Structure 1
Amino acid sequence: MTQPSTTASARTRILLIGGGVPVLMAALAAVLMISWIPQLPAEIAIHWNGSGADGFGSVWSLVFVPLGITAVFCAVSVGSALPTVEEERPTFKQKFVLVTGMWLSALLSVGIASSVAGQRGLTDVVAAPDPGPALLIGAVVGLILAAIAWFVLPPADPNDGYGPVIDDEDTDRPGS
């Protein structure tokens, strides 16, 4: 039988890694973008194609995108993982979805905040820099954070209901 403190610790890590940290990152990006509003033109570039900016709108249309998408994704992933965590171990699939929230938050927060930052002080938003490199950096940072998050979460339960039951004490596999 699992000790209550072990289960509580696992649930706390699931809440923090699957929801708390990603939503906090996105909230910080939103606050940062709001602080830049006085330095931005009335309309900013919000969409790009291969030849440059081709869609324009209010900064508010970008400020809450990372926070909104991250919060909804994390609420669903944590909400689906917490009630089903048997003892203290999520399944492999639950862990994957939980760390995806970390990746998604970094991708959106870095990418969108960088695209807004590049438009501070511009008089002609058509000249707004391409956000592609910043999105790539956000994706890489997100992968690194997701990898770290994977190891902070409790180990995955090898008995996820889709195969034979494995007794951890009888296995010699590393990392199980």
Structure 2
Amino acid sequence: MTSVQTPHVLSMAMGEMWQDNNPRWKAYLGFPALVVAATMVTILMWLPDLPSQIATQWSADGQVTSQSSPFVMLVTYLLPIFVAILIPLVIGHYQTGDSSLAQWGIRLAYALGWFVSVLISALVLMLLARQRGAQAALEAPAPDWSMIAISFVAALVAGAVGATLAPVTKSETRP
């Protein structure tokens, strides 16, 4: 008995060929992967210097109102990044045509992936850097607005570069 491939399985195989043959695809995945890897290495190096509970939220007057373990912080760091990377995977696989709308959709998806990866990584590093050496989460200073602004600008630049590298034509997005 021979096996029959369903259109969905065939579509997935075509998507894998596209991913392997498209240098822009590799750039799209490579940059966020490097950002996440560098952030994770930095976090792991800082773990001995961090308190057992990490401050995660502050009131308007700068008092710590929420704290969690480093493990919970790592999970909450990684989850939105994986979602941001997954969006372009899905859109890039199913995007069809050379219409202007399709091109802008894929550019927006790539920009979102790069933007979220850089923004969340920068904010997490900023948050943890200010808590290094603290004995307890309650001692953690509130985030500095200038560092938040710098993180946001870096994320905007990364998003613009990601949008520029997005494969937007039918010949680029399909095998």
- TM-score with structure 2 setting the length: 0.72
Aligned to 1:72: 83
Correspondence for 1:29 among 34, 39, 60: 39
Q: % of aligned pairs identical?
A: 22
1:98 is aligned to: 110
Asked if 1:48 corresponds to 2:58, the answer is yes
Runs of 4+ in 1 over 4 A off after TM superposition: 7-10
Separation in 2, partners of 1:131, 1:108: 14
Corresponding residue number in structure 1 for 2:130: 118
Conserved? CA contact 1:40–1:122, under 8 Å:
yes
2:91 equivalent to 1:83: no
- The two structures have a TM-score, normalised by structure 1, of 0.72
Structure (1/2) with the larger helix percentage: 2
Structure 2 stretches lacking a partner, 5+ long: 1-17, 171-175
Shift of 1:131: 2.4
Contact 2:19 2:25 in 1 (8 A): no
Superposition RMSD on alpha carbons, in Å? Answer: 2.7
1:65-119 deviation per Cα after TM superposition (whole angstroms, max 9, x unaligned): 33221112212322221232547x9621111111111111111000011101111
Aligned residues: 149
**Match of 2:22, SS?**
helix
- The answer to whether the Cα contact below 8 Å between 1:10 and 1:154 also exists between their aligned partners in 2 is no
1:59 aligns with 2:70: yes
Distance in 2 (CA, whole Å) between partners of 1:94 and 1:100 is 10
1:69 and 1:123 map into 2 onto residues whose CA distance is 29
Structure 1 residue ranges without an equivalent (≥5): 1-6, 158-176
Higher relative contact order (CA 8 A, sep 6+): 2
Output one character per residue of 1:42-77: Cα deviation in whole Å (capped at 9) or x when no partner: 112011221222111211222233322111221232
Q: 1:86 to 1:11 in 2, by over 3 A?
A: farther
- What residue is the counterpart of 2:160 in the other structure? 147
1:131 correspondence with 2:143 = yes
Q: Deviations over 1:155-174 (max 9, x none)?
A: 568xxxxxxxxxxxxxxxxx
Aligned partner of 1:3 in structure 2 is none
Is contact 2:52-2:136 (8 Å) kept?
Answer: no
